[in-house]
Amino acid sequence: MLGAVHRSRVDVTALPPQLADAARSSPAAASRLGGPVADQARTAFVEAMRVTLPTGAGVVAPAAVAVALLPRRQRAGTAS
């Protein structure tokens, strides 16, 4: 998901196809190109992190709660 958001945010219209593919595929590769592409890559990476971190937390938090509570329920059910 991080990569998809990053790829969608980097404008590579002024680059040759090979450089455009490299810039879209990796923030590190885009930053090595310098200039506006590197600036866009940094901004795109931060934006991708801003989008994906809360999404990941939203998936992991309920799973952690479920893992913490399920064994207690099973033990309570077998103790009767």
DSSP code string of the chain: -HHHHHHHH---TTS-HHHHHHHHH-HHHHHHH-HHHHHHHHHHHHHHHHHHHHHHHHHHHHHHHHHHHHHHHHHHHHH-
For the whole model, what pTM was predicted? 0.61
Q: Give me the number of domains the chain comprises.
A: 1
Residues of the chain predicted below pLDDT 50: none
User: Which residue range(s) make up the domain with 54?
Assistant: 2-79
What is the pLDDT at residue 16? Answer: 85
What is the pLDDT at residue 62? Answer: 92
